[in-house]
A and B are shown apart, each in its own frame.
Chain A
Amino acid sequence: MSTNELTLTPSQSPSLAKGKLVVSPSQSLGAVRRPVNTTGWREWLFTVDHKKLGIMYGTVAFVFFIVGGVEALLIRLQLALPDGRILSADKYNQMFTMHATTMIFLFAMPMAAAFANYFLPLQIGARDVAFPRLNALSFWLFLTGGLILNASWFLGGAADGGWFMYAPNSGPVFSPSNGVDFWILGLQIAGIASLIGSINLIVTVLNMRAPGMTLMKMPVFTWMILVVQFLLVFSLPVITVALVLLMFQRSYGATFFDVSQGADPLLWQHLFWIFGHPEVYVLILPGFGIISEVLPTFSRKPLFGYPFVVFSGASIGLVGFGVWAHHMFASGLGPVSVAVFSMATMAIAIPTGVKIFNWILTMWGGKIWYSAAMKFAIGLVILFTIGGLSGVTHAVAPSDTQQTDTYYIVAHFHYVLFGGMVFGLFSGFYYWWPKVFGKMLNEKLGSWNFWFMVIGMNMAFGPMHILGLQGQPRRMYVWTEARAGEGLFNFGFWNMVSSIGSFILAVGVLFFIINVIKTTRNPERAPLDPWDARTLEWLTTSPPKVHNFDRIPVVHHLDEFFHRKYEEDETTHTMKQVATGADLVRAEVAAADVDIHMPGASYWPLLLSVGMGVLGMGVIYGTPIMVVGALLVLFSAYGWVLEPSVPEAIDFDTPSTDGPTKEIAPVG
């Protein structure tokens, strides 16, 4: 990989390090002049800066988290008592479908994308991602998809087939409202967004690492994100096929899942779960990545068994493609297939176990600081282990035929999703907040946040194990006393506990929101290296400048930043501090590069996404709209191609001197 030849030149013009990139008007080559005013709201709309996009991803995803959470609370309200009357059957079905879709596709994946976007370039010492405009396109497409999905609530009802939308129930006869059409299109567009995003990030990691950073010196977070992107690249096309087939059936009269024409409904299940199972690892691995940064930092020890953690992550990814049919144990695959998939599923517990053990051993012998970020990370390890072990109980196929489609499954996946992924993300919020916003989140509120969330989470989802084993099926808009059992600890009791728990959980989330509001008002700035951190993203100002690093770092170690601060005493083998993080950052600022070419803002990503949205609406509302959308897409693609990704030389604040330029991403 020869891109890493960005040689280091001594500082010539430190004046660059002022923050905002001011770009003067250019005689743009594009069809339209590129946006030049990069301040105010335009700064956000047309930006291609991976950090701004990261923040936008994060904000939007968090809003969807609240939306999905409120949907969940409505579900829990309905189920608190027998024969609930808060929601009708129809509304309830829409509610859990959209709850899951929102949480998975509009919260979890984009929130991971937010972290990936913001920190991946920083962790590998790059100035941006490989294709900044594609990055912006990903974001806007995701937003378009999310809006389409949720617009269905107001346009005749949301999708109501459950998040895996089994055929033929999702066909035009059985789901006559437009909800499923919106669902298909929303996911299709969000899927394109993820696909583009993942190609972008893979190329970034492969081509743009700082000099000296071999693959095995890459931070684990980056590694896990890389694995996730591979999973996405190879699994998204599969659901695309499924969605296209379903769309052809619903909108154009094809019969792919119409049994009367001889179709086989299991085709959908295979296509969905070939995507769906890798997808669950797409959800959890970023969480794993985050805590693989947090645990070492707060234990003051490197990650135990780094290569094992990395390879187990990769093998989880690979094996994850071979277990999909464990979601279909009851669908009549025949004993041979069931046995094979049952064994494969068990196998996946092994690499996952390796990770759990390595995290525990990372803390073993450490000097642990229980900050809020650390608490969430520890929470992840514990709750995920519980969820993972219940996962292993499903892997025993005969046993799963009793548990499948009961609350026991719901308990499993909320433990891994909420206890795993969401706790990982919250750990990331607390850990990286000072980096992104230059303000510390309040630790005390963080502690409240954590405790309410753990207690709420266990109260909400713990009883679901019992409910499931007592035989309460999932996806039921009411449960009935007739099947609730006798005694105090029957369905009624546990459902009530679960509902109360979900509200405690909501209060926990509320503490986070309060924390954010309070600390944003607080004028005090965060120290440059508040946690005594280990990786490169801390080797720059907080928040980082547009071009991330004043000087591209040269990497010698895993945990480069830490090793610049500490050295091992040869004789006693204890670590002694040789510099503070703040010192290091100041040294970088003093040695800033000149002539850093950053990609320029662009209208096209936004415009193209709007075009895609209109095009999608056309599938539902008729060809004329589709034509308008297609024209818009073509027009913006044309503008895009003709617009150079990097503004012309004169657009830079420091005109070219004779030093080499730090051009990034030549086309793209």
Chain B
Amino acid sequence: MDIVINVKSSSHRIRNSIATIFGIVVLAGCARNAPQDTWQPKGDNAQIINNLQWIVFPMAGVVGVLVLGFYAYTIYKYNDRGQPIPSQSHGKPVVEVILTIIPALILTVVGVFTFRGIFELAETEDTEMIINVTGQQWWWEYDYPAQDDQGITQPIISSGQLVIPVGTKVLLRETSRDVIHSYWIPALNGKKDAVPGRINLLRLQADKPGLFAGQCTEFCGLSHANMRMEAIALSKEDFAKWVSNQQKAYTAPADGTLAKEGEGVFLNQCIRCHQVNGLKKVDGTPAIAAPDENVYSGAAPNLSHLMSRNTFAGAKFDLLNKKCRKDVWGASPETIGVKYLSGVSESCLNATDLRAWLRNAPAMKPMYADPAKLEKSGGKYRGMPNLGLTETDIDKLVAYLLTLK
């Protein structure tokens, strides 16, 4: 990294450079801490991009100011003040040539840096960890294949929030189960599309523990706007704890509790689509979800450790209530690990949204879940349908879901 311009990521006054493009001064300090700000890199890959931005934006700004400044002067100076009609000269080739060469030179310089940036970002040789990321309408699935050096002994499947260790070069292998989506955590790297039938690679690395917002950025149909995600970087120790929690075996709720009844409802209703690892049917055989029979993309979120996440349904809704959620968002790099790993306790649960989701999911998030309109997709849903659950069923289910730590 020998690009000289290297700016401390804490600066919030970056947008001044855009302002120069307009030629007007935008008030300094506008919008602090927008979670998806593209000028606040929190890791190497984003930093490479940021360095390029700091070359091309000021360049554009300066060129703009010079050209438009000269233009403004022309407009002012040659106003018709009764001067005679000028001689009809058709231009000077020398001037033309100069004015062609200068931009060409500027662009060559920009081009060289761009070229290097592109190849630097495409580097994958020294990857330390791999995560498979799969997009589908309208949520992301993360699949951590077993890899010993990260302590992952059996695959972990999760959704919504990507959990990564800090200072580790993580390679996302992206694909999609239906249409094109695009994975974007601005603080960690630029976008990369998740294209069905292809595997696209995207490298992420976070310098410090933290929570980073992201959004699906390729138009993917009805609920594209609601297809969000988050990345959480944990210190290596905290990450190991997270891994071991994800690999923890299933503990069935104690008999006679509301949660136990909830497990029953779940086995009736939800197991069609949602897998809970280790869950057994009443007859003792493993309960295996068959989302491919019900959902067009062939997948639904794995709920084994639902309550270890802070969000649900494509990170559109919080599993944590407002207060607890703010606590995690606002946490310092030192404390975020503990806060995140504590998961969702009953007192922190955002029961309102979760219950509403179970009551009628399509009302919460536009989806293709009207059985009358599924002719073209062979009767399969795109998203989660309204299951017509009673309020008591919902009570039971919530109690049950709370046990899925």
Contact = CB atoms under 8 A, between A and B. Distances in A.
A264 B197 contact: yes
Interface stretch (A220-228, A335-343, A429-437, A504-512): A335-343
Contact of B22 (A262, A300, A366, A386): A386
Interface in A326-379: 330-332, 334-335, 338-339, 342-343, 346-347, 349-350, 353-354, 356-358, 360-361, 363-370, 378
A385 B84 contact: no
A487 B80 CA distance: 47
A464 to B, nearest CB: 10
B29 A399 contact: no
B225 to A, nearest CB: 4
Contact of B118 (A346, A398, A573): A398
A404 interface: yes
Interface in A599-631: none
A209 B123 CA distance: 57
A454 to B, nearest CB: 12
Interface string A374-396: 00001001100110011011011
Contacts of A559: 88
A519 interface: no
B198 interface: yes
A26 to B, nearest CB: 49
Contacts of A145: none
Given A469-B37, A485-B33, A389 B373 contact: no
B195 interface: yes
A308 interface: yes
Contacts of A382: 68, 71
B282 interface: no
Contacts of A176: 368, 373, 375-377
A122 interface: no
Interface in A140-176: 160-162, 166, 168-169, 172-176
A638 interface: no
A575 B33 contact: no
Residue of B32, B34, B68, B83 contacting most chain A CB atoms (<10 Å)? B34
Contacts of B84: 367, 574-575
Contacts of A349: 103, 107
Interface in B157-197: 174, 178-180, 182, 184, 186, 189-193, 195-197
Contacts of B201: 332
B163 to A, nearest CB: 20
Contacts of A160: 221
Contacts, number: 339
Contacts of A353: 99-100, 103
Contact of B38 (A162, A354, A406, A483): A406
B387 interface: no
Q: Assign chain B's interface to a size class.
A: 35 or more
Contact of A401 (B21, B74, B89, B190): B190
A363 B55 CA distance: 32
Interface in B103-157: 103-104, 107, 110-111, 113-115, 117-119, 121-122, 137
B114 A330 contact: no
Given A369-B80, A471-B37, A331 B87 contact: no
A299 interface: yes
A385 B18 contact: no
Given A332-B195, A364-B74, A476-B225, A398 B52 contact: yes
Given A331-B200, A364-B78, 15 more contacts: A176-B377, A262-B197, A303-B91, A334-B122, A346-B111, A357-B99, A367-B80, A390-B21, A392-B110, A398-B121, A399-B56, A471-B38, A472-B36, A485-B35, A574-B85
9 tightest A-B contacts by CB? A401-B190, A471-B36, A489-B30, A485-B34, A332-B200, A305-B91, A476-B225, A335-B122, A169-B179
Interface of B: 14-15, 18, 21-22, 26-27, 29-39, 46, 48-49, 52-53, 55-57, 60-61, 63-64, 67-68, 70-71, 74-75, 78-80, 83-93, 95-96, 99-100, 103-104, 107, 110-111, 113-115, 117-119, 121-122, 137, 174, 178-180, 182, 184, 186, 189-193, 195-198, 200-201, 213, 215, 217-225, 228, 296, 366, 368, 373, 375-377, 382
Interface of A: 88-90, 93, 160-162, 166, 168-169, 172-176, 259, 262-266, 299-306, 308, 330-332, 334-335, 338-339, 342-343, 346-347, 349-350, 353-354, 356-358, 360-361, 363-370, 378, 381-382, 385-386, 389-390, 392-393, 395-406, 458, 462, 465-466, 468-473, 475-479, 482-491, 493-494, 558-559, 562, 566, 568, 573-575
19 contacts: A168-B178, A169-B180, A173-B377, A300-B85, A330-B191, A332-B193, A334-B122, A342-B111, A354-B96, A365-B78, A370-B79, A389-B64, A406-B38, A465-B22, A470-B15, A470-B34, A475-B219, A485-B34, A485-B35
